[in-house]
Amino acid sequence: MRLCSENVSMSYRTGYFGKRSTILEGANLEILPGRTLGLVGGSGSGKTTLGKVLAGLERPSEGRVLFGGRDIWKMEARDFRLFRRKVQMVFQDPEGSLNPMKSIERSIQEVLSLLKVPKRDWHERTLDMLQTVGLSEELLGRRPSQVSGGQNQRIALGRVLLLEPEIIILDEPTSALDISVQAQVLHLLRELQRERGMGYLLITHSAQVVSFMAHDIAVIERGRLV
């Protein structure tokens, strides 16, 4: 199913009588299965906010977000939960993407618990997931601060993949990684897209990353798609 935004605007008011500041203005985007849309823009241009709005993490002040042609904010709770599983987001900071107080194993298993996977299958599913993202079992007992940035990002991606999403919003997924690890993660993302036909919205400010990954490109400047 495709995900799109229709005239999405986002503004905040600080305090009751504060001035309203606009972060997004009339954004129209479409993310299609099997394709990558690169969203490029400078710092503070509204890229992440648009990503969060598309992922249903923030409600737009105006406009609609449509998933499979239905407005996500008019969905019933059950359908919204399904939308949440089908549209996922991977964040920029690999270490901050996982709870520092939980082991890697616990972070993975709580997703399996959410999916109501029987406990006896947890270990097998966890190993399958680690294999998919190219990691070994050794990491399971460690905490996010005890593994590398690239490994954390793969684990965050693996957690998201357990939900079998149709669309993934990738918010600068490689910007905090060194160049060799960046390439590994990008290749993995491309391979997964080929295998599973997922659609990506790739938020980045790197021209190299976007030219390597994206089928289409959108540019955002001061909250407006240009």
Task: Return residues touching another protein (CB under 8 A).
Answer: 52, 55-57, 81, 84-85, 88-93, 95-102, 110-111, 114, 143, 145, 156, 159-160, 163
> Residue 43 CB, nearest distance to another protein (Å)?
13
In the complex, what is the shortest distance from the CB of residue 211 to another protein, in angstroms, rounded to a whole number? Answer: 26
Minimum CB–partner distance for residue 63 and another protein (Å)? 20
Q: How far apart are CA 197 and CA 200, in angstroms?
A: 10
Strands 70-71 and 62-67: antiparallel
Nearer Cβ to another protein, position 97 or 193?
97
Shortest Cβ 155–another protein spacing (Å): 11
- Measured from the CB atom, the residue of 27 and 156 that comes closer to another protein is 156
Residue among 145 and 226 whose Cβ is closer to another protein: 145
Which one, 84 or 224, has the nearer CB to another protein?
84
How far apart are CB 226 and another protein at their closest, in Å?
25
3-state SS, the chain, equals CCEEEEEEEEEEECCCCCCEEEEEEEEEEEECCCCEEEEECCCCCCHHHHHHHHCCCCCCCEEEEEECCEEHHHCCHHHHHHHHHHEEEECCCCCCCCCCCCCHHHHHHHHHHHCCCCHHHHHHHHHHHHHHCCCCHHHHHCCHHHCCHHHHHHHHHHHHHCCCCCEEEEECCCCCCCHHHHHHHHHHHHHHHHHHCCEEEEEECCHHHHHHHCCEEEEEECCEEC
Question: Of the two residues 143 and 215, which places its CB atom closer to another protein in the complex?
Answer: 143
Closest approach of another protein to the CB of residue 82, in Å: 9
Cβ count within 10 A of residue 190: 14
User: In this structure, are strands 224-225 and 216-221 parallel, antiparallel, or unpaired?
Assistant: antiparallel
Q: 20 vs 226, which CB is nearer to another protein?
A: 20
